[in-house]
């Protein structure tokens, strides 16, 4: 039986990550774990949470859509606010599909209204009071956020 004195690494030594960098990475992970644990144990409140910001404007809307990308936005009385053809309503139809899936999980009607909210800091979000689901719309790009911002500005019947 022979003893191996060399490690069984098939990469060239120049291609390996230096040990000091690996140790620094694990040290950084350990520091983050300690900081998060301390914050959790001491009950430090969350900061910069968009859902906690003050609501400036709010509108209840009903989203409907189909797989082609066409979408309709209605107010709570069933009056149409906007009608998007399949080449313009893709984002709204996509949000409606996500919302329908979340509602199907808990057995809520897919036609229940959601709240379109403008919060302090110019943050636009959708909130579904029936399921607790919410989405910060600014994470989907300026043009998609603008579509929902225009819905908030539409005159109310």
Question: Looking at the DSSP assignment, which residues form a beta bridge with residue 75?
Answer: 61
What is the CB neighbour count within 10 angstroms for residue 102?
16
- Taking the whole predicted model, whether its pTM rises above 0.85 is answered as no
Q: Residue 154: its pLDDT value, please?
A: 61
Residue 23 has a pLDDT of 96
Cα distances (angstroms) measured from residue 140 to each of 2, 20, 125, 133 = 60, 39, 11, 16
Contacts (Cβ under 8 Å, ≥6 apart) of 53: 119, 120, 121, 123
Is 157 a residue whose pLDDT tops 60?
Answer: no
The better pLDDT of the pair 52, 16 is held by 16
Mind listing the pLDDT tens digit for each residue in 117-130? 888 778 888 888 88
What is the three-class DSSP state of 58?
strand
91/133 Cα distance (integer angstroms): 17
Tokens coding 82: 């906007």
- What is the spatial distance between Cα 57 and Cα 36, in angstroms, rounded to a whole number? 34
Q: How is residue 63 written in tokens?
A: 């989203």
Query: Which three-class secondary structure state does DSSP give residue 44?
Result: coil
pLDDT at 9 over 70: no
Q: DSSP states of 59-128 as a string?
A: EEEEEEE-TTS-EEEEETTS-EEEEE-TTT-HHHHHHHHHHHHHHHHHT--TTS-EEEEEETTTEEEEE-
- As a whole number, mean pLDDT of residues 35-49 equals 85
pLDDT of residue 149: 83
Q: Which position has the higher pLDDT, 7 or 107?
A: 107
Q: Which among 71, 65, 52 has a CA at the least distance from the CA of 125?
A: 52
Regarding predicted confidence, which is higher, 33 or 125? 33
Say what the pLDDT of residue 155 is.
58
């Amino acid at each position: 039986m022979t003893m191996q004195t060399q490690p069984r690494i098939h990469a060239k030594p120049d291609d390996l990550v230096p040990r000091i960098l690996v140790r620094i990475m694990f040290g950084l992970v350990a520091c983050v774990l300690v900081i998060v644990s301390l914050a959790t144990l001491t009950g430090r409140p969350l900061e910069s949470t968009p859902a906690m910001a003050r609501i400036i404007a709010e509108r209840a809307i009903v989203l409907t859509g189909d797989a082609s990308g066409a979408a309709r936005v209605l107010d709570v009385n069933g009056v149409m606010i906007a009608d998007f053809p399949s080449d313009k309503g893709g984002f709204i139809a996509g949000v409606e599909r996500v919302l329908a899936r979340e509602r199907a999980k808990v057995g809520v009607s897919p036609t229940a209204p959601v709240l379109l909210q403008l919060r302090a800091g110019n943050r636009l979000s959708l909130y579904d009071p029936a399921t607790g689901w919410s989405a910060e719309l600014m994470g989907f790009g300026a043009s998609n956020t603008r579509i929902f911002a225009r819905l908030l500005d539409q005159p109310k019947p």
